[in-house]
Amino acid sequence: MRIQEVLSKRLALVALAGGFLAMVPAHVWANALPIGSLVPPDTGELDISNISGTLVGVTSIPPCINWSGGTTCSTPLATTNFTVGGNSALFSNTPSATDQIKNVGTPPPPTETDFETVLGGTAVGGATVHFDLVQIVINTGASAGNCNSNAAFTTCTPHNSPFTFTENSLGNGITISFTVLLNAYTVSSAGGVTPYSASFITPGIQTFSGPGTPGSNACLGQAASITEVQACEGNGGTITAGFTAVEQPLASSPEPIDFSLVGSGLLVLGFLGRRRKRA
């Protein structure tokens, strides 16, 4: 009889602790994005395009990017709208004033709060998703690739630049790409973040604009090529192009709420166990 009584009390304690855990909301202060709860093939990918009507000003190395197509980055904190794409439940595809991206100043800040904001989808209850800029990936070593060639499929990432220039299959046009690292969250980053990598790329250069040096065709609307883009930037010119981006979550950390729930359950068991001993 004594053994049955002890077992009954222990089962009651476990049941009580389980009931306590069930009463705690699943996301009390865990603000990292719920990547693990997404239904495959939803990976949490965010696609953005039409940044200010596909007009983007890319100027100078180190980088200055005025997403609204201006010729300077005198207001690096200015923002512009973009279009949200993809099929993730984390993000809403409904056009919204929340969908914004900040300019990149010169020199680029090491970090930037709310570099992007996106209207959240059903997986986050429509909450705004914040993306803080963690790092612009810059080639701090020697130039990578062949920066003196315009041959088909040639790539070039100049020294101290985030931009990779790639010639097309005909050697008569290029794309520009660069990568940034972001931390995504809702409400507050203090409750946890989800690391993201964002790859920006142009579908092709549309426009060069002055100034060019006397006798030089750089920045004067000539065919886009690796050498001409570098000459244009070197002469203080502006490159205008359309950008799109694919942003994908990296390996994420466990949400803090998981550990707090486990700890709370253990505290309840310990407290009730001490009461039983004193009785």
Which range, 102-106, 181-185, 243-247, has the best average confidence (pLDDT)?
A: 181-185
| 116-150 confidence digits (pLDDT tens) | 999 999 999 999 999 999 999 999 999 999 999 98
For the chain, give every domain's residue range.
1-29+255-279, 31-252
Q: Is 253's pLDDT higher than 90?
A: no
pLDDT confidence bin for 58, thresholds 50/70/90? confident
What's the pLDDT at 268?
Answer: 37
pLDDT band of 38, cuts 50, 70, 90: very high
More confident residue, 264 or 48: 48
Of 10-14, 42-46, 164-168, 213-217, highest mean pLDDT: 42-46
Q: Average pLDDT, stretch 202-224?
A: 58
Three-state SS sequence of the chain? CHHHHHHHHHHHHHHHHHHHHHHCCCCCCCCCCCHHHCCCCCCCCEEEECCCCCCEEEECCCCEEECCCCCCCCCCCCEEECEEECCCCCECCCCCCCCEEECECCCCCCCEEEEEEEEECHHHCCCEEEEEEEEECCECCCCEECCCCCCCCCEEECCCECCEEEECCCCCCEEEEEEEEEEEEECCHHHCCEEEEEEEECCCEEEEECCCCCCCCCCCCCCCCHHHHHHHHHCCCEEEECCEEEEEECCCCCCHHHHHHHHHHHHHHHHHHHHHHHC
What pLDDT sits at residue 32? 95
The mean pLDDT of the chain is 76
Residue 31 has pLDDT above 50, yes or no: yes
> 229 or 52, which is more confident?
229
pLDDT at residue 166 greater than cutoff 50: yes
Q: Are strands 244-249 and 46-49 parallel, antiparallel or unpaired?
A: antiparallel
Assigned token pair, 149: 């060639």
pTM here is: 0.75
Quote the CA–CA distance of 134 and 35 in Å, as a whole number: 20
pLDDT-wise least confident of 113-122, 172-181, 255-264: 255-264
Indicate the range of 1-5, 34-38, 134-138, 171-175 predicted with least confidence.
Answer: 1-5
